[in-house]
Structure 1
Amino acid sequence: MSTIPQIPDSAPFSPEQRAWLNGFLAGIFNRAPVAGSQPATLTAQLTPLTILFASQTGTSEALAKQAAKEAGKRGFAPAILDMAEVSAEQLPNHANLLVITSTYGDGEPPDTAKALHTVLREGSHAFAGLRYSVCALGDTNYTLFCQAGKDFDAYFEKHGATRISPRTDCDVDYEAPFNAWLDTTLNALGASSAAPVPVTEASPPSAPVAYDKKNPFPAPVLAIRNLNGPGSAKEVNHVEFDLTGSGLVYEAGDALGVIPQNCPDLVSAIIASLDCDGEEAVPTPVGELPLRTALTVHYELGKPAPALLELLNVTTPVHHVLDALHATATKPAPSAFVATLKKIQPRLYSISSSPKAHPTQVHLTVGAVRYELNGLPRKGVCSTFLAERALAHGTAGIFVHSNKAFRPPADLNAPIIMVGPGTGIAPFRAFLEERAATQAPGKNWLFFGDQKASSDFLYQNELTALQSAGVLTRLDLAFSRDQPEKIYVQTKMLAAADELYAWLEQGAYFYVCGDASRMAKDVDAALHKAIELAGKKSPEEATAYVQSLKTAKRYQRDVY
């Protein structure tokens, strides 16, 4: 067994350069000579490989780095590129291409991929010499599952590229299908006829436990408090976790993954529908457990998978697993039933604290989801786990999900404009704490909105204190139900178009957090209109101006 040296993260290279160098070293060391042969040289032939990613929350970027690491071990020289950095004219220069992209909202590509997506959809290009494969990330709870990946796959084929292996569409539990796709594709690209040499990687003898999605940290729940006042139609909770001893590190702009548990009432209703008592032994990802425990801790009980509908012979539309059981007289065996369920998935929430302000804690701002459907009360899995049971339970499994595409500017003098209605305020609370802790001289402007000022002004005391301290330069509020005509954050943006444009001209960064399908689209339209009005630009010129902000990473969105 040999050990592959790695370029440390502290080395003065970009992530793409570091990935290429690590891949190069892996290729060299995987060609280490057997006893008596000539020593390996730096003239070893490595196969160029470009890994093109588009990420909204950082997952695709992380998988691109994982792919580069594996490709380096197999004799490739990988280079990682963000789709924002590549034009359609440059693509034919990349003979071997892996495309990893997420989908969000109504089947939309990530922000960094929109320009390339549009050009490939509408233009005519010659990709005859390009070999490619696509891994698409998505969520089957959305109608247009993995649509961005499907689009890119079709566009490359339309322009003459050769698909080297079939596209893989990954649901939220993406690890296994991603690894299978990567293995198949790298084999198909055939960098080397020789099998890669098994390697082990060096790690410190006393390396601490690494907590991640597969091994979450059981974080003590310190506090959960409701942020709404009397009479609110909403329930938004501030949640605090203790990170002491975890080794977890996060930055303002990152997300926190929380492993939820299902509602006991829902679990009991499902067990009753199966005519079971809950003590039946069933398989789980960690071995056999009682049915009640398995349904509470290990399986999703929301939208039923096609396999469950087939097992129950249900052909009518249903929304949840319990609906499917109510729609049939079939009573499957407990083990057959759980075999059709998906593994419970973590929920990602924008972190609402700065580690500089809370070095041993991490905070979230979570709206509890509750509604009625078909005569039954429904609950958001994780939001109500946090609201109702996490504090009594004592701990919750968590991990940090890095999102380098959503960060306060490194230049502390740069002004920032933040648009975050409702729980979209979460990362901007973190940004403001960060700017206060670093004594950043740059100006800070927040647009916040909700339903009523009297009951839905989240973090009101904190924001007014930040105003008094001079950290929050300007605060524009939009409470939609406090007057006959509804006012939203985009309304306030247009009313302040001249100053908003002036801030952008001064180098301001523009941030948006919240709902992708409606709010973010309306805010984007208002931004274009404000630039048209205040900048005296045509719609086409305003579009080009916004695109220049995106290219400079001065327009960043954390939308879902």
Structure 2
Amino acid sequence: MSRVPLIPESAPFTAEQRAWLNGFLAGLISRGENQSVPLPPTAEIAKRSLLIAFGSQSGNAESLAKRLAREAASRGFTARAAGLDSLQPSDLIREQNVLLITSTWGEGDMPDNAISFWDNINQNGSSPKLDGVKYSVLALGDKNYGETFCLAGKKIDARLAELGATRVTERVDCDVEFDELAKTWSSTALSALETGKEISVTVVAAVPPAKEIEEKGYSKKNPFPAPLIANIALNASGSSKDTRHIAFSLAGSGLNYEVGDALGVYVKNCPEVVDAIISAHSLDPQAEAALPDGGTAFLRDALISNYEVRHLHGITPNQLLNTADFVTSLRKLQPRLYSIASSIKAHPEEVHLCVGAVRYDVHGVQHKGVASTFLADRLALSETTGIFFHVAKHFRLPADLSKPVIMVGPGTGIAPFRAFLEEREATGATGKNWLFFGDQRRTTDFLYHDQIIEWVQKGLLTRLDTAFSRDQEEKIYVQTRMLTAAAEMWQWLEEGAHFYVCGDAKRMAKDVDAALHEIIQTAGGRSAEEASAYVADMKKNKRYQRDVY
């Protein structure tokens, strides 16, 4: 007659832990003892399962999720981090404990890897109820986007509650400076999960508190002072644009990067703009001002190097502000991320950018893009500024060098595709390459013209389609060229081509996405629903990747 286990197989223990407990408890019961069980100090049992899901476009949410998984493991959880594109609602039900981190993309959109998950939980009547699931959401965003700030996280948080899941702690919405808020949220959420789940046997292992992994070498917190080695105008005379090829030296840094990554650049505000703001508010440029990370500096120096002032230039002066109140109202000046425009295999110890200088007038007041004009106008050759690399795992060339690649990058969106093509050339990739490039006029705005034409002549670029919108009466854009080439594009997609888009998120990326769906319907003979499923499958298999802003 077999003995019925005292600890069921469904309990959160390993087979060895369950066997030990069954034997130990059986011995106590056979002796008629009824007392607390002193478990061995080395037994790490009764670990709670924890799913840390992330929706990430540029990599921040993914990095936070993986860091949180390490912290949770140190606190006794069996934790795993997973992209939302790999999850179904049923995964949340199975895991029970869920912490979700997501960014917001464009004008309140879901990041690419969260779209399919959102569709699955947002379909009324088809999504399963999530009763019993305990969760919390960390939303990443940028307050400059106003009403759409952290909208993706807000939507997911509300929908999970509608489906019956229980918040263990309230959602936290983070601006671009998110580290401290993220730490507070994660600590609170883990504590809530620890105390909120009842289990019959609990073992608290002696675990040291979670520690930050020390970053070695250069990083965002310790940027490399990179000398500027090139600042070359890419537009010809007569263009209405000012696009620059910017290059930094990496010599002596030990830094490396992959094509598809972004470069973080520490920038400074224009001194003329800062002087105008100080004058408008009748402030003393030599007044002592607190710095965001501690310490003090003269007000003028602090505004140039440490605070965001772009929204203050031209506003109605407020004579009542004192220096302390004025500085308190400002946000910390953030580094800017740029798509890398080079392959380190083609340019050892260098990193290149393609930057469009932003300058415009509003009611007679000249405005300047902080970072773009810093790079174009104010950083002199051989001078240094802090840089770091931002890994973008969501934007990678196929590992299989024989796979075809389709790239759509108008304007400065050409940046990562110049890097892709340099990489494909350096690695001897045999897959076909197709580039869609557009701008205003062929004669003045064909960025990297000579290099691109040389790639066509060599055969590296199998096909090049250009769209110069102002060279004819009717506006022609990259999506126009895509539709014209629908039959061949469908053939490439069916051959397993990877499809990439870089550039403006608000209009271009949406128009290109609509054109892709239309091509699948018309050339592929699919219904609208089948086309959406085809695109979703491309995203899931990393064959449709976007670097949009």
Relative to the length of structure 2, the TM-score reads 0.88
- With over 3 angstroms needed to count, the CA separation of the structure-2 counterparts of 1:286 and 1:242, relative to structure 1, is farther
CA RMSD in angstroms comes to 2.0
Q: Which residue of 2 aligns with 1:298?
A: 306
Q: Distance in 2 between matches of 1:182 and 1:489?
A: 43
Q: Give the greater-gyration-radius structure (CA).
A: 2
- With over 3 angstroms needed to count, the CA separation of the structure-2 counterparts of 1:275 and 1:474, relative to structure 1, is same
Superposition deviation, residue 295 in structure 1: 0.3
**Would the aligned equivalents of 2:227 and 2:381 in 1 still touch at CA under 8 Å?**
no
- With over 3 angstroms needed to count, the CA separation of the structure-2 counterparts of 1:329 and 1:343, relative to structure 1, is closer
Q: Deviations over 1:49-69 (max 9, x none)?
A: 100001111111011111111
What are the equivalent positions in structure 2 for 1:419-458 lying under 5 Å apart? 419-458=408-447
**Would the aligned equivalents of 1:222 and 1:391 in 2 still touch at CA under 8 Å?**
no
SS in 2 for 1:535: coil
Superposition deviation, residue 397 in structure 1: 1.0
**Would the aligned equivalents of 2:229 and 2:381 in 1 still touch at CA under 8 Å?**
no
Amino acid at match of 1:322: H
Q: Aligned pair 1:341/2:330, yes or no?
A: yes
Q: Distance in 1 between matches of 2:80 and 2:411?
A: 39
Q: Distance in 2 between matches of 1:329 and 1:357?
A: 53
Amino acid at match of 2:482: M
SS in 2 for 1:90: helix
**Would the aligned equivalents of 1:219 and 1:395 in 2 still touch at CA under 8 Å?**
yes
- Identify unmatched segments of 5+ residues in structure 2: 1-37, 196-201
Q: Aligned pair 1:70/2:58, yes or no?
A: no
Q: 1:170 aligns with which of 150, 174, 180?
A: 174
Superposition deviation, residue 252 in structure 1: 0.4
- With over 3 angstroms needed to count, the CA separation of the structure-2 counterparts of 1:118 and 1:199, relative to structure 1, is closer
Q: Distance in 1 between matches of 2:409 and 2:206?
A: 49
Q: Distance in 1 between matches of 2:79 and 2:385?
A: 38
Q: Which residue of 2 aligns with 1:134?
A: 137
Q: 1:499 aligns with which of 482, 488, 493?
A: 488
Superposition deviation, residue 322 in structure 1: 3.1
Q: Distance in 1 between matches of 2:548 and 2:203?
A: 44
Q: 1:265 aligns with which of 263, 272, 294?
A: 272
- Report the more deviating stretch, 146-155 or 286-295: 286-295
- Identify unmatched segments of 5+ residues in structure 1: 1-36, 303-319
Amino acid at match of 2:546: R
**Would the aligned equivalents of 2:46 and 2:203 in 1 still touch at CA under 8 Å?**
no
Q: Aligned pair 1:289/2:280, yes or no?
A: no
Amino acid at match of 1:190: E
Q: Which residue of 2 aligns with 1:376?
A: 365
Q: Which residue of 2 aligns with 1:188?
A: 192
Amino acid at match of 2:537: S
**Would the aligned equivalents of 2:44 and 2:205 in 1 still touch at CA under 8 Å?**
no
**Would the aligned equivalents of 1:414 and 1:508 in 2 still touch at CA under 8 Å?**
yes
- Report the more deviating stretch, 464-473 or 360-369: 464-473
- With over 3 angstroms needed to count, the CA separation of the structure-2 counterparts of 1:544 and 1:197, relative to structure 1, is closer
Q: Deviations over 1:400-435 (max 9, x none)?
A: 000001000000000000000001111000100000
**Would the aligned equivalents of 1:223 and 1:391 in 2 still touch at CA under 8 Å?**
no
Q: Which residue of 1 aligns with 2:90?
A: 89
Amino acid at match of 2:418: R
- With over 3 angstroms needed to count, the CA separation of the structure-2 counterparts of 1:265 and 1:200, relative to structure 1, is same
Q: Which residue of 2 aligns with 1:317?
A: none
Q: 1:255 aligns with which of 262, 266, 269?
A: 262
Q: Aligned pair 1:158/2:166, yes or no?
A: no
What are the equivalent positions in structure 2 for 1:548-559 lying under 5 Å apart? 548-559=537-548
Q: Distance in 1 between matches of 2:318 and 2:421?
A: 56
Amino acid at match of 2:306: H
Amino acid at match of 2:152: A
Superposition deviation, residue 336 in structure 1: 2.1
Q: Distance in 2 between matches of 1:286 and 1:472?
A: 52
Give the number of equivalent residue pairs: 502
Amino acid at match of 2:302: A
Superposition deviation, residue 41 in structure 1: 4.1
**Would the aligned equivalents of 2:281 and 2:317 in 1 still touch at CA under 8 Å?**
no
Q: Aligned pair 1:403/2:392, yes or no?
A: yes
Q: Which residue of 2 aligns with 1:19?
A: none
Q: Deviations over 1:73-115 (max 9, x none)?
A: 2111111111000112332112110100000111000011111
Q: Aligned pair 1:330/2:319, yes or no?
A: yes
Q: Deviations over 1:221-276 (max 9, x none)?
A: 11111100111111111110111122222100001111110001011111212323
- With over 3 angstroms needed to count, the CA separation of the structure-2 counterparts of 1:392 and 1:354, relative to structure 1, is closer
SS in 1 for 2:489: helix
Q: Distance in 2 between matches of 1:39 and 1:243?
A: 53
Q: Distance in 1 between matches of 2:396 and 2:407?
A: 12
SS in 1 for 2:380: helix
Q: Which residue of 2 aligns with 1:118?
A: 119
Q: Which residue of 1 aligns with 2:13?
A: none
- Report the more deviating stretch, 263-272 or 152-161: 263-272
Q: 2:223 aligns with which of 216, 219, 225?
A: 216
**Would the aligned equivalents of 1:73 and 1:196 in 2 still touch at CA under 8 Å?**
no
**Would the aligned equivalents of 2:281 and 2:318 in 1 still touch at CA under 8 Å?**
no
Q: Distance in 2 between matches of 1:65 and 1:95?
A: 19
Q: Distance in 2 between matches of 1:258 and 1:39?
A: 52
Q: Deviations over 1:441-462 (max 9, x none)?
A: 0100000000000010000001
SS in 2 for 1:106: coil
**Would the aligned equivalents of 2:341 and 2:415 in 1 still touch at CA under 8 Å?**
yes
SS in 2 for 1:528: helix
**Would the aligned equivalents of 2:280 and 2:317 in 1 still touch at CA under 8 Å?**
no
Superposition deviation, residue 465 in structure 1: 1.1
Q: Distance in 1 between matches of 2:189 and 2:540?
A: 30
Q: Which residue of 2 aligns with 1:54?
A: 55
Q: Which residue of 2 aligns with 1:538?
A: 527
Q: Distance in 1 between matches of 2:289 and 2:53?
A: 41
Amino acid at match of 2:165: A
- With over 3 angstroms needed to count, the CA separation of the structure-2 counterparts of 1:154 and 1:240, relative to structure 1, is same
Relative to the length of structure 1, the TM-score reads 0.86
Superposition deviation, residue 334 in structure 1: 1.2
- Report the more deviating stretch, 418-427 or 461-470: 461-470
SS in 2 for 1:260: coil
Superposition deviation, residue 374 in structure 1: 2.8
Superposition deviation, residue 335 in structure 1: 2.1
Q: Distance in 2 between matches of 1:289 and 1:134?
A: 37
Superposition deviation, residue 116 in structure 1: 1.4
**Would the aligned equivalents of 2:138 and 2:171 in 1 still touch at CA under 8 Å?**
yes
**Would the aligned equivalents of 1:450 and 1:456 in 2 still touch at CA under 8 Å?**
yes
Q: Distance in 1 between matches of 2:57 and 2:161?
A: 24
**Would the aligned equivalents of 2:437 and 2:467 in 1 still touch at CA under 8 Å?**
yes
Q: Distance in 1 between matches of 2:212 and 2:357?
A: 44
- Report the more deviating stretch, 110-119 or 270-279: 270-279
Q: Aligned pair 1:230/2:237, yes or no?
A: yes
- Report the more deviating stretch, 409-418 or 190-199: 190-199
Q: Deviations over 1:332-388 (max 9, x none)?
A: 221221122111111111101111112201111111111111320001110110011
**Would the aligned equivalents of 1:274 and 1:334 in 2 still touch at CA under 8 Å?**
no
**Would the aligned equivalents of 1:368 and 1:384 in 2 still touch at CA under 8 Å?**
yes
Q: Aligned pair 1:528/2:517, yes or no?
A: yes
Identity among equivalent pairs (%): 52
Superposition deviation, residue 199 in structure 1: 5.8
**Would the aligned equivalents of 2:89 and 2:121 in 1 still touch at CA under 8 Å?**
yes
